[in-house]
Each structure stands twice: as structure tokens, then as C-alpha cells.
Homo-oligomer: A and B are copies of this chain.
């Protein structure tokens, strides 16, 4: 089975960012990877959770949701105490990934709220969320720049981007779309910094297993993809890029 739209196995889907997508949140980015579309907003709250009060340190937390119309079959909203375990898992991943590149001590007593809401889902919504959330985070930090003693560069230790890789029909492929993800034997999400270090590696056999050689080929494919995504983030941020 060749890839949809004649993509090469190591080719990303078209990736785009619309910054300042709305006027209400200080960071607000619409990220698209192929048809997958996520609205990433970042709000700054001048309070911190109870366990951090008085420690002079900030916090970053993330939430993830899918709009009901984002999938081909309508996705019911969480209601009345029901929990969507997949969403819980994803939002914890997004939060950890961004905290890994943020110097919370340099943030002051503030909470950064990342919200990633999926407008259209075609595979790779969690990785697009992380990639877009970094851009929204930078824009949100611009809005409080004057209150950061060490500036934005003091808060951000590195950039962060994410991508999925997987083995479909025995072939390692980069940036799976939904029909590939559904059929993949192995599915891996990579979260890496702009300087090429790992933050998170999550490789899962879907009722299947994989060898060390397969693991290595996926890591190589993903690492190359992250490099391209980092370039795209840098391009959209232009002068706002804090890591020059």
C-alpha cells in the first residue's frame, strides 16, 4: 500500500501555523499538518497551584480536547464525570513536554495554561498539539516579557517539537495520517528539542511487537522529521524566535 497523496516514507505533511488566530488569548496558534488542525492557545495566569505558592516559581499545565465535529463519527463530549482516558494521557504528555524546555524558576509565580483543541483530526493530533503549543507559548511570553527578570530567553531553555513515526505494511513512515495510524503495527511519538535531544519517546506495539532494529529506524526517521519541524517553527516565529 503506497502512502496517500504519493508521499515518500520520510516526507512530512504540509505544515502551517497561523499565529494570533484569535484576539482573546495572548498566545493563539492554529497549526495544520495536512488535514489535522489544532487550535493551541496559551494564557498566563498570575496565580500558581497550591503546592507552589510562595516558592517564587511558576507552573505550566496543559489540557487537550477534541471538538465533537473533528472526527468523521461525531465524538461525544465528556460529561457528568465520564473520563476519556486517551485525552488524560495526551494532556499529561503535552504538559511534560513543554515543562522540559521551560525554566520554571525564571517564570515567577505565574501559571502558563496551554489548551490544545482539535478542530479536525487526521492522525498526529498530539504531536501537532505540542509543535503548535510551543509557538503559542512564545507569543504568550511576549505579552509578559517586561515582567520576566531574565527575559524570554531566560525562561526558554530550548524549543520543542513532536512528530509521529510508525511501521505500516512493514515500512517505517514519518508523520502518519489517520488511515496509516489505524493500520500501523508500531506507533511511536517522539518529542525532541530544537537542539536534537530527546524529551519523550513513546513507542507502542499495537497488538504487536517490534525489534531493536525497527526501533532504531523509527528513531532515525523521527529525528530527521523533528529537524524540519523546528525549522518551520523558527520560520513562523521570525524575530519572535527567542533562541538565536
In the complex, what distance in Å separates the CA atom of A23 from the CA atom of B34? 11
In the complex, what distance in Å separates the CA atom of A142 from the CA atom of B112? 43
Band of interface residues on A: 35 or more
For the complex formed, measure the closest distance between the CB of A192 and the CB atoms of chain B, giving whole angstroms: 8
Asked whether, in the complex, the Cβ of A83 is within 8 Å of the Cβ of B88, the reply is: yes
| Binary B-proximity of A78-95 (CB < 8 A = 1, otherwise 0) | 111111011011011000
Contact of A201 among B23, B100, B201, B207 (CB under 8 A): B201
For the complex formed, measure the closest distance between the CB of A92 and the CB atoms of chain B, giving whole angstroms: 5
For the complex formed, measure the closest distance between the CB of A148 and the CB atoms of chain B, giving whole angstroms: 18
For the complex formed, measure the closest distance between the CB of A66 and the CB atoms of chain B, giving whole angstroms: 10
| Binary B-proximity of A100-131 (CB < 8 A = 1, otherwise 0) | 11001000000001010101111000000000
| Binary B-proximity of A206-221 (CB < 8 A = 1, otherwise 0) | 1111111001000100
Asked whether, in the complex, the Cβ of B68 is within 8 Å of the Cβ of A43, the reply is: yes
For the complex formed, measure the closest distance between the CB of A11 and the CB atoms of chain B, giving whole angstroms: 21
Counting every copy of the chain, the complex holds 6
In the complex, what residues of B have CB within 8 A of residue A158's CB? 209
In the complex, what distance in Å separates the CA atom of A200 from the CA atom of B209? 8
In the complex, what residues of B have CB within 8 A of residue A211's CB? 197-198
- Could you say which of A1-9, A69-77, A168-176, A228-236 contacts chain B? A69-77
In the complex, what distance in Å separates the CA atom of A79 from the CA atom of B89? 16
**Known contacts A37-B22, A120-B24; is A219 also within 8 Å of B209 by CB?**
no
Question: Is A193 an interface residue when CB atoms closer than 8 A count as contact?
Answer: yes
In the complex, what residues of B have CB within 8 A of residue A113's CB? 68, 74
Given contacts A67-B115, A80-B80, A198-B210, 16 further A-B contacts (CB under 8 A): A22-B120, A23-B35, A24-B120, A39-B119, A43-B74, A68-B113, A74-B115, A83-B88, A85-B89, A85-B92, A86-B92, A88-B88, A89-B89, A100-B208, A188-B201, A202-B202
